Amino acid sequence: MIAYEEALEIFSKVSPIEEGEKIRLEEALGRIVKEDIHAPCDLPLFNNSAMDGVAIRAHELHTDVMIEGRRLAKTVRDPFDDPKTKAIRIMTGAKVPDWADLVVPVEFTKEMGKKEEKEIIKFAPNAFKKGDHIRLSGEDYKKGELVFKKGYCLTADSLMVLANFGISHVMVLKTPKIWLATTGDEVKEPGDVLRAGEIYNSSHIYLKSKFQELHLPLHLSRHLKDRKEMIRSFLTRWIRLPSPSLLLTTGAVSMGEKDDLPALARDMGATIHFHKVAIRPGKPILFASFGKGQRPKDHYWIGAPGNAISTAVAWTFFVRPFLHQWGKLPLPPMTKALLAEDFKKPEGLKVFFRGAFDAITAKVHLFAHQGSSSVKASALGNVFVELDRDKKMIPQGSEVLCTFFN
């Protein structure tokens, strides 16, 4: 059995995925940028109006002006770039003519009549100055400026930024092929009728949803009965996948009669990096890898214990750090908090217990019932609280690290 910090150190030695692919912007949500993205042009592309108003020369602000036309926010096909033009009505986003150096918002204009069928406008007294309400070309981004660095995780906001440049495709890291398998004869799907001794499969929906949150597609998802040859056949199919690949399993890693996965992994030539970590819940967790011949070990297997809360701990504190190292995916959000009350824990084990974090007080309350099959704390809480292995009693007011469920 190893310490949790040793497990993280083992993950840190995993070689990151380097292979990339070019994909459409519409498909890039949650993907990791493979190479720096630089601005292909200035933003804004041209000087444009920040307001609906009147474009004029600043020195004519205190005179009545004649409106010579209207410019909308679309392709400019009008004569108003002519420097002889005195003033035009202009819409938000429309290109500002080079001769204009001020846009006066429409609410500060007053129509004084018409001359030669053109409006005569007077401006309300105000402290406008040259450049007001004009967005200058390149004031947001200059061509060639860094937009997103290599390793950045693309969000909806970042896709919006890229679309403003007209970028339609991005180079991202390839996503690994991911297989998910839950195990156990006693495990049934929600909606099935349970017999004595059977339980519902909550780990599957939890892990499937967590992969979806990271925009990682599952290439295969199965529930496996406790049949050694069936599991061996499943593993053989997975090992033959093109690299890179991740297998995440739940159950069959502890000390029970049907807990065959660690021995089966060894029989099939896996390198067992660790099996059992000094934590609670989730102590029997397994991390293994496969390589073939000259091929590097690029098939990774994380075997989580079968109980739902152990599965959640395995996801948060093992799968997520592994994906961060291997695929550059972000870690879950964390915060520091003060413990709301004294809390007694098992000595010699680092624990990841569930709590309710209050952002207003920056305090966290730990629930009394923390068993790996007790789900109420997951319904009422919002964080896992990390407590050091060497302490048995953690006093009220101690600073602790909290990792959010979502």
Statement to judge: residues 301 and 319 lie in one domain: yes
Instruction: Indicate if 164 and 192 belong to the same structural domain.
Output: no
CA distance 406 to 212: 12
Domain interval for residue 369: 334-404
Say if residue 183 is in the same domain as residue 322: yes
Average pLDDT score over residue span 56-61: 93
- Residue whose entry in the numeric block shows the structure tokens 């084990």: 349
Residue 256 has pLDDT above 90, yes or no: no
Give me the pLDDT at residue 373, please: 82
Q: 366 vs 390, which has greater pLDDT? A: 366
Assign residue 72 the CATH number of its domain. Answer: 2.170.190.11
pLDDT at 87 (0 to 100):
96
| CATH number for 231 | 3.40.980.10
Looking at the 3D structure of the chain, how many domains does it have? 4
3-state secondary structure of 97: coil
Q: Where are the beta strands (DSSP E) in 165-282?
A: 169-173, 177-183, 187-188, 199-200, 218-224, 245-250, 271-275, 279-280
In angstroms, rounded to a whole number, what is the distance separating the alpha carbons of residues 303 and 314?
A: 9
What pLDDT is attached to residue 257? 65
Whether residue 184 is found in the same domain as residue 323: yes
pLDDT of the residue at 255: 67
Q: How do strand 102-105 and strand 53-56 relate by DSSP bridges? A: antiparallel
Q: Give the DSSP H or E segment for 262.
A: helix 261-267
Distance from the first to the final alpha carbon of the chain: 29
The last residue of a domain, from among 297, 327, 357: 327
- Which residues have C-beta within 8 Å of that of residue 286, sequence separation ≥ 6? 253, 261, 262, 265, 272, 274, 275, 301, 302, 303
Please tell me the predicted confidence (pLDDT) of residue 372: 84
pLDDT for the residue numbered 405: 97
Is the domain of 280 the same as that of 316? yes
Instruction: Tell me the per-residue pLDDT of 297-337, one tens digit each, with 9 for 90 and over.
Output: 689 999 999 899 999 999 999 999 999 999 999 999 999 99
CA–CA gap between residue 334 and residue 313 (Å, rounded): 14
Whole-number pLDDT of residue 252: 86
Question: 275, 297, 327 — which closes off a domain?
Answer: 327
Express each pLDDT in 271-305 by its tens digit: 999 999 999 999 999 999 997 554 556 899 999 99
What tens digit of pLDDT does each residue of 101-124 get?
999 999 999 999 988 889 999 998
Q: Residue 378 sits in a domain of what CATH number?
A: 2.40.340.10
- 101 and 147 share one domain: no
Listed residues 121, 152, 173: the one ending a domain: 173
The rounded distance, in Å, linking the Cα atoms of 204 and 201 is: 6
Range in 78-82, 256-260, 360-364 with the lowest mean pLDDT: 256-260
